[in-house]
């Protein structure tokens, strides 16, 4: 009897070791990120209701800033999202930029796509506030509650959930990372895997213990939301 138990324990330990080792190795390949995104997409499809309303705006979520040659500029996450928003813009619906990156996003979009009409949320500090403040802007501008949502594919599931909680239906428009997945570049793959791990953990946190640093719509004025901030010290 003891021999059987020891054999089963050995088999279980061996299996866990092999699975753990393969999982650890997979973060340096495209497999981990692609499987992670598949799981996140399944979560969205099984938890969010379908809305057939036509979108009335493009919501562009900021992804951070950098200092370049002594000046503040969009980082590669934010620039890729801006390029994606410009690419789907049909010339009529407004682009709502959301986050403290908004002043630099507006500069970038106006230079690349001057015909775009931009509405800015300059006050959001996290995904929860992105959703709540966007809902306030949509209501103020008498726009509908269905939008194209632009962020990267790893952030998309968490962002869509927050927007749904704010009463906004979203059509995902994922922006690619400028660092491509590649079987021959473990570092690039690790960048994607790290984003996957972070967003899966953040989604679990939002579900199990919602953020307590998320301001509600009645805690901030439209004037404050619309006022640009040119010194986002949080990034540096």
Per-residue pLDDT in tens (0 to 9) along the chain, 236 residues: 555 566 655 455 555 454 445 455 577 789 999 999 999 999 999 999 878 889 999 999 999 999 988 889 999 999 999 999 999 998 899 999 999 999 999 999 999 999 999 999 999 999 999 999 999 999 999 999 999 999 999 999 999 999 999 999 999 999 999 888 888 898 999 999 999 999 999 999 999 988 788 999 999 999 999 998 766 554 54
CATH of the domain at 164: 3.40.50.620
For the chain, report the end-to-end CA distance as a whole number of angstroms.
62
Q: Which domain holds residue 90?
A: 51-235
CA distances (Å), origin 83, targets 80, 106, 170: 5, 12, 19
Confirm whether 62 is domain-assigned. yes
Confirm whether 218 is domain-assigned. yes
Q: What angle do CA 217, 221, 223 make, to 5 degrees?
A: 140
Confirm whether 35 is domain-assigned. no
Structural element, H or E, at residue 74: strand 71-74
Q: Which two tokens stand for residue 191?
A: 């960048």
CB of 216 closer than 8 Å to CB of 132: yes
Which pLDDT does position 211 carry in this prediction?
A: 78
Which pLDDT does position 16 carry in this prediction?
A: 47
Give 97's strand partners.
Answer: 60, 120
Tell me the C-alpha distance between 76 and 178, whole Å: 6
Confirm whether 39 is domain-assigned. no
Which pLDDT does position 184 carry in this prediction?
A: 84
Closest CA to 162 of 119, 117, 124: 124
Confirm whether 22 is domain-assigned. no
Confirm whether 103 is domain-assigned. yes
Closest CA to 36 of 196, 155, 157: 196
Closest CA to 195 of 234, 165, 156: 156
* pLDDT, tens only, 12-46: 555 545 444 545 557 778 999 999 999 999 999 99
66 exposure class (CB count in 10 Å sphere: 0-12, 13-18, 19+): middle
Q: Scan for tokens 């753990």, then name that residue.
A: 20
Structure-derived torsion over alpha carbons of residues 56, 59, 119, 84, reported in degrees to the nearest 10? -110
CB of 60 closer than 8 Å to CB of 95: yes
Tell me the C-alpha distance between 193 and 31, whole Å: 9
Confirm whether 45 is domain-assigned. no
CA distances (Å), origin 93, targets 57, 138, 144: 5, 12, 11
How many domains are there within the chain? Answer: 1
Confirm whether 28 is domain-assigned. no
Global pTM reads 0.87
């Amino acid at each position: 009897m003891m021999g059987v138990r020891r054999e089963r324990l050995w088999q279980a330990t061996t299996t866990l070791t092999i699975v753990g080792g393969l999982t650890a190795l997979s973060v340096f390949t495209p497999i981990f990120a692609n499987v992670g995104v598949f799981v996140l997409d399944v979560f969205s499809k099984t938890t969010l209701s379908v809305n057939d309303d036509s979108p009335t705006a493009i919501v562009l979520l900021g992804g951070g800033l950098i200092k370049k040659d002594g000046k503040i500029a969009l980082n590669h996450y934010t620039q890729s999202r801006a390029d994606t928003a410009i690419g789907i813009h049909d010339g009529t619906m407004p682009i709502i930029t959301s986050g403290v990156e908004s002043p630099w996003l507006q500069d970038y979009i106006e230079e690349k796509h001057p015909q775009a009409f931009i509405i800015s949320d300059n006050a959001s500090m996290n995904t929860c506030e992105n959703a709540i403040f966007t809902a306030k802007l949509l209501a103020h501008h008498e726009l509908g509650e269905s939008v194209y949502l632009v962020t990267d594919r790893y952030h998309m599931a968490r962002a869509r959930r927050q927007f749904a909680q704010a009463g906004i239906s979203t059509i995902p428009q994922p922006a690619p990372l400028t660092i491509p997945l590649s079987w021959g570049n473990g570092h690039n793959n690790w960048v994607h895997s790290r984003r996957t791990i972070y967003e899966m953990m953040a989604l679990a946190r939002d579900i199990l213990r919602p953020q307590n640093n998320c301001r509600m719509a009645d805690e901030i004025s439209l004037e404050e939301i619309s006022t640009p901030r040119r010194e986002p010290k949080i990034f540096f």
